[in-house]
A and B are shown apart, each in its own frame.
Chain A
Amino acid sequence: MSTFDNPFDPNRRLHTTGCSCGRHATEVEHAAEQAAALQSAVTQGEEKRFEGVVASAVMRAMFPQDASRRAFLKSVGAATALAAVSQFFPLQTATDVFASGGPLEKTDLKVGFIPITCATPIIMAHPMGFYAKYGLNVEVIKTAGWAVIRDKTLNKEYDAAHMLSPMPLAITMGVGSNPIPYTMPAVENINGQAITLAMKHKDRRNPKDWKGFKFAVPFDYSMHNYLLRYYLAEHGLDPDVDVQIRAVPPPEMVANLRADNIDGYLAPDPMNQRAVYDGVGFIHILTKEIWDGHPCCAFAASKEFVTSMPNTYGALLKSIIEATAYAHKPENRKEIAQAISPANYLNQPAIVLEQILTGTYADGLGNVVKQPNRIDFDPFPWQSFAIWIMTQMKRWGQIKGDVDYKTIAEQVYLATDTAKLMKEAGLAAPDTTSRSFSVMGKPFDGSNPDQYLASFKIKKAS
């Protein structure tokens, strides 16, 4: 029984022998005759088809037995039945909801961002017209910090926002805030971070010599924090004992590095390149060398926005996915650097952004380095990413007790939605929702997180 059959048709075929109208010997013959009529039905438009699908679903839910449905339809007629059903069930609304690409519930949207290059797709979609393409009038609003972004999204001042990829998980689990169901339908950027050290440490490149260092990361629930801790622990340093790690807003990191208050940081760009540009630090390594293809920032929205405005959400996500696909292409990177450097967006010298986005950059030690995928853009929210993040949250004592890794990952990282919208936007989408990767040579596939966690020597006892 296909969803596209019409259950209001009392003559619909119930058995597989013969044809549905009884006038043909086989269904093939019947179909051939109907083909001409169907041709004209196509032109009736998508709306009609969606209406049919929704009505059929409702009708089947009310009369699961084929025989009783048929009896009902025969006695009152299809039109009356439809009218009767619509009295109890808002067919029109349900149809609108089902029809993605249907009318937008809201076209004026506000999306918050933090002025770092990780937000590139969210920002560039504005000057480069990706939002406008889907009929949205989006204001992208620079926001003072991660906690403010979280609160303004919860307040509904923002419809959606740029967040760190661990944040929707933390918010959903109620770590560091009230538990509110959050979703992360797209990753903004992969790679794109670096460990920057003060100039005076240019001869102490071995992490084993870093005991007593003071480091900064932008937020506790960030890939920056987890990657820095991972990197230090792999080199035998306990990040909670041997060094100090503080949460510091990115612009203050550069100033603190200059003032000799901190020894280094693992931070989002443009702050790494900016330290080099200003001559106060050098890039020790890119995070790409810790985990090539790691997620960093994300496009996040509350579950409420996703369910109450499905069409707007779909259109918004499609424009973000397309912008991300555009940003992925190396040949577009210079143009993007120009588009996002004005004061309205990142407010940085274009040459700094160009070095970050093209991957041809000065490292602060006198070399020009070429790393084309220093930062890359890939929207797909692999659920194994979420599981890895949760193992690290547990490893460092941010969450305790048993964690239902798989369920939370599926709830928050909406990989199936993303895949569907990617296909609609004409992009190649993966068929699975998880994939394996390795971090500093250690493979992770997400199937046995507890075993993975147990394999680390350095961790907080829990």
Chain B
Amino acid sequence: MTKSLRLRAAVVSLLLFGGFIAAWHLATRGSGEVAKMSPEYAALMGATATQGKSAMPGPFEVGAKLWEHIKRPFYDNGPNDKGLGIQLGYSIARVMTGYLLAVLVAIPLGFLIGMSPLMNKALDPFIQVLKPISPLAWMPLALYTIKDSSLSAIFVIFICSVWPMLLNTAFGVASVRKEWINVARTLEVGTVRRAFTVILPAAAPTILTGMRISIGIAWLVIVAAEMLVGGTGIGYFVWNEWNNLSIVNVIIAILMIGLVGMLLDQVLARFTRMVTFPE
């Protein structure tokens, strides 16, 4: 039964995709011949002006360009022209660095807040003020003080991924069932041991949910940050192709950003399943 459901869902997905591509193709088809111009003049003009080609690329154009990128993902033609694989690599490396720094800060701090009602109340105002700040609002300040664009991008990733993890860890730790803690207390388990053997496993699913939200936000932010500071990364690639008004490449970059974001999310979803326990 489930198998046939899966099959049917796949068929529907494929039909939707096919329909989308067909509609896209029809909508972007060129209108054929446009105004008459002398051959000398036409030679200086682009296809949009001479053949009435739509400014929006069609699906086959995007497909062909995508294949070109996939064939050569790691070429390096100097500082401003690197393969899509290298650009994605830079972005992932930045996200990972900022994100891991955030994990190192958020989880211990979240534990502290979750276990101590005093710290919870004391730090709450700071967290409430800092949490809603758009990550990109930090960018000028970071550039100005850190004086290094690459580190600034990492800092922005750090600052935006720290809050969901911190709040989820604190919440997970605070809401561990009292009976379990009381049992541990009755058995005279020390504080450190209690934290690692009782609270951590019990709070792990909530913590990982926070981490999963954070990685999603980090991946959203990196593209915008790289468009702003430039240099390398998928965000820079989008900006560079936008300068060139190459919508084909912009579409390809959007597709890649979506795919990588999904992969990152899936990895954390798998971790979450690993630590989830049946009650």
Whose C-beta in chain A lies nearest to the C-beta of B247? A255
- A368 near B228 with CB under 8 A, answer no
Q: Tell me if A142 counts as interface (CB < 8 A to partner B).
A: yes
Residues of B within 8 A of A115 (CB): 240, 243
Q: Tell me if A279 counts as interface (CB < 8 A to partner B).
A: yes
A151-B143, A277-B49, A367-B41 known; A157+B149 contact, CB < 8 A: yes
Q: Tell me if B1 counts as interface (CB < 8 A to partner A).
A: no
Q: Which of B78-86, B101-109, B173-181, B271-279 contacts A (4 or more CB under 8 A)?
A: B78-86
Residues of A within 8 A of B246 (CB): 347
Contact with B along A145-186 (1 / 0, CB 8 A): 000100110011100000000000000000000000000000
Residues of B within 8 A of A349 (CB): 46
- A366 near B44 with CB under 8 A, answer no
Minimum CB–CB distance for B260 against chain A, Å: 21
From residue 178 to 231 of chain B, which have CB atoms closer than 8 A to chain A?
227-231
Whose C-beta in chain B lies nearest to the C-beta of A139? B79
- A251 near B78 with CB under 8 A, answer no
Question: How many Å lie between the Cα of A143 and that of B77 in the bound state?
Answer: 17
Question: How many Å lie between the Cα of A278 and that of B51 in the bound state?
Answer: 11
A279-B48, A362-B44 known; A274+B245 contact, CB < 8 A: yes
Whose C-beta in chain B lies nearest to the C-beta of A351? B44
Whose C-beta in chain B lies nearest to the C-beta of A142? B80
Residues of A within 8 A of B49 (CB): 276-279
Residue B228 contacts which of A144, A255, A342 (CB distance < 8 angstroms)?
A144
A151-B144, A343-B240, A348-B244 known; A277+B46 contact, CB < 8 A: yes
Contact with B along A206-236 (1 / 0, CB 8 A): 0000000000000000000000000000000
Residue A141 contacts which of B34, B48, B79, B228 (CB distance < 8 angstroms)?
B79
Residue A343 contacts which of B41, B55, B81 (CB distance < 8 angstroms)?
B81
Contact with A along B135-166 (1 / 0, CB 8 A): 00000000110011100000000000000000
Q: Tell me if B68 counts as interface (CB < 8 A to partner A).
A: no
Minimum CB–CB distance for B264 against chain A, Å: 25
Q: Tell me if B5 counts as interface (CB < 8 A to partner A).
A: no
Question: How many Å lie between the Cα of A251 and that of B34 in the bound state?
Answer: 25
Residues of A within 8 A of B239 (CB): 144
Contact with A along B111-152 (1 / 0, CB 8 A): 000000000000000000000000000000001100111000
Q: Tell me if B11 counts as interface (CB < 8 A to partner A).
A: no
- A155 near B143 with CB under 8 A, answer yes
Whose C-beta in chain B lies nearest to the C-beta of A361? B44
Whose C-beta in chain A lies nearest to the C-beta of B237? A343
Question: How many Å lie between the Cα of A397 and that of B88 in the bound state?
Answer: 45
Q: Tell me if B37 counts as interface (CB < 8 A to partner A).
A: yes
- A254 near B44 with CB under 8 A, answer no
Question: How many Å lie between the Cα of A362 and that of B228 in the bound state?
Answer: 34
Question: How many Å lie between the Cα of A326 and that of B180 in the bound state?
Answer: 80
- B80 near A343 with CB under 8 A, answer yes
Residues of B within 8 A of A279 (CB): 34, 45-46, 48-49
A254-B245, A276-B45, A278-B48 known; A144+B227 contact, CB < 8 A: yes
Residues of B within 8 A of A316 (CB): none
A254-B245, A343-B81, A368-B40 known; A148+B46 contact, CB < 8 A: no
Interface of A toward B, CB cutoff 8 Å: 115, 139-144, 148, 151-152, 155-157, 250-251, 254-255, 258, 274, 276-279, 342-345, 347-349, 351, 355, 361-362, 366-368
Q: Please give 9 more A-B residue pairs, beta carbons under 8 A apart, in addition to A144-B236, A151-B144, A155-B147.
A: A157-B149, A251-B242, A276-B49, A277-B45, A277-B46, A355-B44, A366-B37, A366-B41, A368-B41
Interface of B toward A, CB cutoff 8 Å: 34, 37-38, 40-41, 43-46, 48-49, 55, 77-81, 143-144, 147-149, 227-231, 236, 239-246
18 A-B pairs with CB atoms under 8 Å apart are A115-B240, A139-B79, A141-B230, A141-B231, A144-B227, A148-B229, A148-B230, A151-B144, A258-B55, A276-B45, A277-B44, A277-B45, A278-B49, A342-B81, A343-B80, A343-B81, A344-B79, A367-B41
- In the complex, the 4 A-B pairs of residues with the closest C-beta atoms, listed nearest first: A279-B49, A344-B81, A362-B44, A343-B81
